[in-house]
Structure 1
Amino acid sequence: MPQPLVSIICLCYNHERCLRPALDSVLAQTYPNLEVIIVDDCSTDNSVGIIREYVQRHPQLKFISTGRNLGNTKAFNIGWRASHGRFILDFATDDVLLPERVAQQVQQFEKLPPDYGVVYSDAEYISDDSEHLYLHSQKYKAAPDGDVFAEVLGRYFICPPTMLIRREVFEELHGYDEGLAYEDFDFWIRSARKYKYAYLPEVTTKRRLHSRSLSSTWYTKGNQLLASTVVVCKRAAKMVRTEQERNALARRLKYEARQAYLTGNFTEAEQLLELLEQTTGTPFLYRFIRELNRHEINLGFLRTLNNWLRYRQ
């Protein structure tokens, strides 16, 4: 019986420095039945030159240029809609896949019933210079299986580039929401409402952390990432069914509201606190925060102080 086709959608935007090891790691996969589609989102560095070099040497690689910079969600949707695989891997070309990555996750999927839509795994975080930093499992201890909807509502625990996803999931969701500035949280909420997740306790991926990563600018004042989080939280509020899920959403709203307030994102903080009131009611501390927020009394120094105390040597 032939092994199922896996489509690796390689997303590139100004990844010149990391692109060769990323593409080499795709070509080094031990799994034989692969479709590799490289989507460049109108890079301004030499990424396209490197991609063309690889395509010339490896004709099995497919190359799509977006023509103009569209952002991750739109660029990825172009890639997966051009693919044919039973399973889809969303791969940013500043990361690195370990050689057994696809083979291990397909083997895991073959043991699972069809209501499992995602297999995710452990990962190694590396620096800009490819030096080891830490393992995902060291920072995020619990990795649940099965129905993870309440878990993804309440906390971050999935390393996004480790996911292998059934094609049916993307078809049902119509891909990523192109109106959002980032895709992970919304994808988890919408997919986990129907599909189960399975955890593979193996390091399959090296995820690169660098100064240009989205997480480094997440709560910058006026950043569209936080506005997208508000949209997803409002969407999630309409999907909760149980008290456990409602409480999980409240945990998320409290965290995001605190961060929004302490970074001067007063509009988003108000929206999150209003949603918290509608979800479980507002505890005293958050009523107090809401009053400070409405008067735009900036206590951002507390966040700075907390971070300094947390990370000082």
Structure 2
Amino acid sequence: METPLVSIITPSFNSEKFIAETIQSVQNQTYQNWEIIIVDDCSLDKTLSIVTKMALLDNRIQLFQSEKNSGTGIARNTALTKCKGRYISFLDADDLWKPQKLEKQIDFLKTNNLPFTFSFYDCIDEEGKSLNRTVEAPRNLSYRQLFFCNYVGNLTGIYDVNYFEKIAISSIRKRQDWMLWLTILKKIKTAQPLPESLAFYRIRENSISASKLDLLKHNFAVYRTFHGFNIVVSLLCMTGFLFTQLIIKPGYIKKVKL
């Protein structure tokens, strides 16, 4: 059975607390034909030494350093130039994959003849403890639905380079993943998730997901800068976004029974 190479893009910055566990979650994959491209954005902690030691023991781990701190978008684009795989996937330096993540997604792509997919994911806190929440998504995600809400967890998305070629990440400092999925959905119109939780998303105290005000600010920037809308249209789009967040999306967040 063919096992095409999967390239995993991981930007890092001051990630010493999480990076080893993140890499280990990749090493624990049942699908083993992968490379992880880590681009460090001038960390000031022990991130570099941790990754360097792990890379010496596993040549599938590749480490590159930014010349100056430029944000995750630039780091991801740098990693993109180094990728050699047929499939591009993403994993931030504090998130985790479940062991069968790649195997199940590659099989799902092949079986359904898809160029892109994603999955559900569980939420954990900064210490790795379960928050008893699973984030799901529409089973047939349309561009219109994605336009008003990013249903695709960055740590779950994977696309076929043979179909799309490599897709550059937006230079906007935040919400690059949403803009990437919008670019993909604009071409293929709809996307199907693998309807199973395959990853753990870590919610940190200083993250955008933890700050509703920052989330609104950065989403507004997507409508203004990425889509190029004027202020009035962007505000109307934000109204649709807020409606989706308050009324529609909560139905896709499931509480896990203890």
TM-score tier, shorter chain, comes to 0.7 to 0.9
Equivalent AA in structure 2 for residue 154 of structure 1:
F
Partner of 1:134: 132
After TM superposition, the score normalised by the length of structure 1 is: 0.69
Any residues of structure 2 matched to 1:62-211 within 5 Å, and which?
62-113=62-113, 116-137=114-135, 140=136, 142-145=137-140, 148-168=142-162, 171=165, 174-195=167-188, 196-211=190-205
Equivalent AA in structure 2 for residue 131 of structure 1:
K
- Counterpart of 1:214 (choices 208, 213, 219) is 208
Partner of 2:251: none
- What is the Cα deviation at residue 2 of structure 1? 2.9
**Alpha-carbon deviations, 1:208-255, whole Å to 9, x = none?**
00112122345249966643442234369xxxxxxxxx9xx9974315
After TM superposition, the score normalised by the length of structure 2 is: 0.82
- Seen in structure 2, the aligned counterparts of structure 1 residues 29 and 257 have a Cα distance that, compared at 3 Å, is closer
Structure 2: distance between partners of 1:30 and 1:221: 35
Contact 2:12 2:40 in 1 (8 A): yes
Equivalent AA in structure 1 for residue 121 of structure 2:
A
Larger radius of gyration, structure 1 or 2?
1
Contact 2:117 2:159 in 1 (8 A): yes
| Matched position secondary structure for 1:38 | strand
- Aligned-residue identity in percent: 22
Contact 2:97 2:200 in 1 (8 A): yes
- What is the Cα deviation at residue 200 of structure 1? 0.6
- What is the Cα deviation at residue 166 of structure 1? 1.6
Structure 2: distance between partners of 1:107 and 1:210: 32
Equivalent AA in structure 2 for residue 178 of structure 1:
S
Which structure dedicates a bigger proportion of its chain to helix?
A: 1
Partner of 1:293: none
- Seen in structure 2, the aligned counterparts of structure 1 residues 202 and 57 have a Cα distance that, compared at 3 Å, is same
Structure 1: distance between partners of 2:107 and 2:4: 10
Partner of 1:33: 33
- What is the Cα deviation at residue 177 of structure 1? 1.2
- Counterpart of 1:254 (choices 211, 227, 239) is 239
Any residues of structure 2 matched to 1:3-82 within 5 Å, and which?
3-82=3-82
| Matched position secondary structure for 2:83 | coil
- Seen in structure 2, the aligned counterparts of structure 1 residues 169 and 215 have a Cα distance that, compared at 3 Å, is farther
Structure 2: distance between partners of 1:254 and 1:225: 11
| Matched position secondary structure for 2:118 | strand
Equivalent AA in structure 2 for residue 155 of structure 1:
C
- What is the Cα deviation at residue 72 of structure 1? 0.9
Which structure dedicates a bigger proportion of its chain to strand?
A: 2
Q: How many pairs does the alignment contain?
A: 240
Q: Looking at both structures, which has the greater relative contact order when contacts are Cα pairs under 8 Å and sequence separation is at least 6? A: 2
Equivalent AA in structure 2 for residue 88 of structure 1:
I
Partner of 2:248: none
Q: Which sits farther off after the overlay, 28-37 or 200-209?
A: 28-37
Equivalent AA in structure 2 for residue 129 of structure 1:
E
Q: Which sits farther off after the overlay, 32-41 or 73-82?
A: 32-41
**Alpha-carbon deviations, 1:43-90, whole Å to 9, x = none?**
111101101111122233211111211111110011121111111111
